[in-house]
A and B are shown apart, each in its own frame.
Chain A
Amino acid sequence: MNKSDGISQFFIRNAVPLVFLVVSAVAIPISQFSPSYLIQELLIRLSRNAFLVLSLLIPIMAGMGLNFGMVLGAMAGQIGLIFVCDWNIVGVQGLLLAAIISTPLAILFGFLCGIVLNKAQGREMVTSYILGFFMNGVYQLVVLYGFGSLVPIVSAKLLLSRGYGIRNVTNLDGMRRSLDELIPLNIAGIEIPVATFLLIGIFCLFVLWFRKTKLGQDMRATGQDMVVARSAGIRVMRTRIISIVISTVLACYGQIVFLQNVGTMNTYNSHEQAGVFAIAALLVGGATVSRASILNVFTGIILFHLVFIVSPMAGKYLLGDAQIGEYFRVFISYGIIALALVLHAWRRMNDKERARAQFRGAEGGAA
């Protein structure tokens, strides 16, 4: 009885990753991809996205839910990249400099975001989502009208022909895959972006270490019960802001790593979906709005992207249309987020129900 209960609990908790596992198990043979191709693709996606997804962990720890506001960090990263492109600094140095320039920007954005979210306690997710849209407008205004007029941009290659505003597509050729190929490694025809993975590894260690610090402990306390944390003298609001700032800065680095791999930047769109896809990947990995681990990050990215790699081909062979895969991607991303939010509410209700049952059970014993 208890054991079967445990098993069903396991299935309920891991329902989302299991569904994805099944879907990809079915779709892989249909797609007819070779294993080495799949592994290569997965490695690329993993190195591309891990940083962005990892940046979500800390706000979850601080009880602020999924940080849709990471889009702000992505914007900061892009602004850094635009400058570096303009100055024509290439290679890893360019990436590093872009990160250095965009850090203060990301801190500022994160700080503002944190202040707004503190005013909207309990509705952080929706607020940060809308805040992302709002800041998108500000970003577009600045980049489209401010750059080249107020902000000096030298390179004509970057500017629109009218003389101000950045072009739709910014070419990152100089930095393309410069981090990935910094330490080249090729095993059985599969290229492994060692340096990127090293960076991701260091970052994972940082998250682990951070959990052990006083600040991390304060964040966990704040995340679980703000009132209690405050009454214990923890500066709750400050802690929450810091968590958002860290997340925004990391998302900024994540976006830089992502774009160096892609090699071109859609100046006005690249950041938009960074948040949604990262969040969807994390949720596919079995994380919830209130709990996420590093393991969730990696399983999530692998499963989520596996489905995306194989689904266009599988769609083509099954239905004769590769477009269906892209369709699927957007559909699944939003669907999974909606599902996670519903599950979160449902689980909370379930827990309450269970607590009530316990309470009744104890009473039965006493009566």
Chain B
Amino acid sequence: MSIKRVCINLGLVLCLAGLIAWCVLTGKAYDIVLENTPTTVAGAEQPALEAVHVIIDKQEPVLMLEGDRIISTAIGVKHKIRIDVLDEDDKVLESRSHTYTIHDLGTPPTLNIPAVFAASKAEK
């Protein structure tokens, strides 16, 4: 009887702890600095992209021109970023996706678009 009680209470406490963890992990919104500036990745120079749509998770696409720095928000720890390279008529030339966790980005979380673009694979 008392063991049962202890078990149930323990279970509940664990559930609650899990719930809190889930809330914090999936609910926390981070400000992410997105920059479309030239950078070097593994010795190779990456120029800034002319015009891209940046889509974090399922948010609205953000248009970034060469040299732009903007602050965006992302909710949760793990994110999927999609970069659509646009031509002059705003048509998607190439689309690349990249998955990262917020802790990979340093403080303040910064995401360099050309670097991401270079590191990620092309999407079909």
Are chains A and B touching directly in their complex (CB below 8 angstroms)? yes
Option from A87, A96, A100 in Cβ contact (under 8 Å) with B28? A87
Chain A contacts with B in 162-208, Cβ cutoff 8 A: 174
B23–A88 CB distance below 8 A: no
Most buried by B among A87, A93, A97, A100: A93
Say whether A93 contacts B26, CB under 8 Å. Answer: yes
Q: Which residues of B contact A100 (CB under 8 A)?
A: 16, 19-20, 23
* Interfacial chain A residues near B75, Cβ < 8 Å: 90-91
Using A90-B75, A91-B75 as known contacts, say yes or no to A97 and B23 having CB atoms under 8 A apart.
Answer: yes
Residue B22 contacts which of A90, A93, A174 (CB distance < 8 angstroms)? A93
Q: Please, how many angstroms separate the alpha-carbon atoms of A93 and B24 in the complex? A: 7
Closest residue of chain A to B22 (Cβ to Cβ) is A93
| Chain A interfacial positions (CB closer than 8 Å to B) | 87-94, 96-97, 100, 174
A97–B29 touching, CB < 8 Å = no
User: Does B16 contact A93, Cβ atoms closer than 8 Å?
Assistant: no
Within the complex, the shortest CB–CB distance from A93 to chain B, in Å, comes to 3
CA distance A360 to B59 in the complex (A): 78
Bound state CA distance, A10 and B19, in angstroms?
49
- The contact string, 1 if C-beta is below 8 Å from chain A, for chain B 16-52, is 1001101110111110000000000000000000000
Contacts of A174 in B (CB 8 A): 29
Residues of B within 8 A of A92 (CB): 27
Assess the A89–B19 pair: CB atoms within 8 A: no
The answer to whether A88 and B28 touch (CB under 8 A), given A94-B23, A97-B23, A100-B23, is: yes
19 inter-chain pairs at a CB distance below 8 angstroms, sorted by A residue, are: A88-B29, A89-B24, A89-B27, A89-B28, A89-B29, A90-B27, A90-B75, A91-B27, A91-B75, A92-B27, A93-B22, A93-B23, A94-B23, A94-B27, A96-B19, A97-B23, A97-B24, A97-B27, A100-B20
**Chain B nearest CB, measured from A297 CB (Å):** 28
Secondary structure call for the B interface: helix
Q: How close is B18's CB to chain A, nearest CB, in angstroms? A: 11
List chain B residues, Cβ under 8 A from A88.
28-30
- A148→B27 CA distance, assembly (Å): 23
**Given the complex, which residues of A lie within 8 Å of B22, measured CB to CB?**
93
Q: For the complex of A and B, list the 9 residue pairs with the smallest distance between their C-beta atoms, beginning with the closest.
A: A93-B27, A93-B23, A97-B23, A89-B27, A90-B29, A88-B29, A89-B28, A96-B23, A94-B27
Q: How far is the CB of A57 from chain B (nearest CB, A)?
A: 25
Chain A positions within 8 Å of B27 at CB level: 89-94, 96-97
B84 to chain A, nearest CB (A): 26
Complexed CA–CA distance, A90 and B22 (Å): 12
A91 to B16, CA, bound (A): 18
Q: How far is the CA of A91 from the CA of B22 in the complex (A)?
A: 12
Taking the closest CB of chain A, its distance from the CB of B57, in whole angstroms, is: 12
Q: How far is the CA of A87 from the CA of B30 in the complex (A)?
A: 10
State A91–B25 Cα separation when bound (angstroms).
12
Once bound together, how far apart are the Cα atoms of A100 and B16, in whole Å? 9
Which residue, of B16, B30, B75, has the highest number of chain A Cβ atoms within 10 A? B75
A93 to B29, CA, bound (A): 11
- Please, how many angstroms separate the alpha-carbon atoms of A88 and B102 in the complex? 14
Determine the residue in chain B with the shortest Cβ distance to A92.
B27
Complex alpha-carbon distance, A141 and B64, angstroms: 46
Residue of chain B at shortest CB distance from A98: B23
Shortest CB-to-CB span from B67 to chain A, Å, is 27
Contact of B20 among A90, A91, A94, A97 (CB under 8 A): A97
Minimum CB distance partner of A100 in chain B: B20
Bound-state CA distance A90–B30 (Å) is: 10
Cβ-closest chain B residue relative to A89: B27
Q: How many angstroms between the C-alpha atoms of A97 and B22 in the bound complex?
A: 9
Closest to A93 in B: B27
**Distance in angstroms between the alpha carbons of A90 and B73 in the assembled complex:** 11
CB-defined contacts of B30 to chain A, threshold 8 Å: 88
- Chain B residue at minimum C-beta to C-beta distance from A91: B27
Chain B residues 60-85 with CB under 8 Å of chain A are: 75
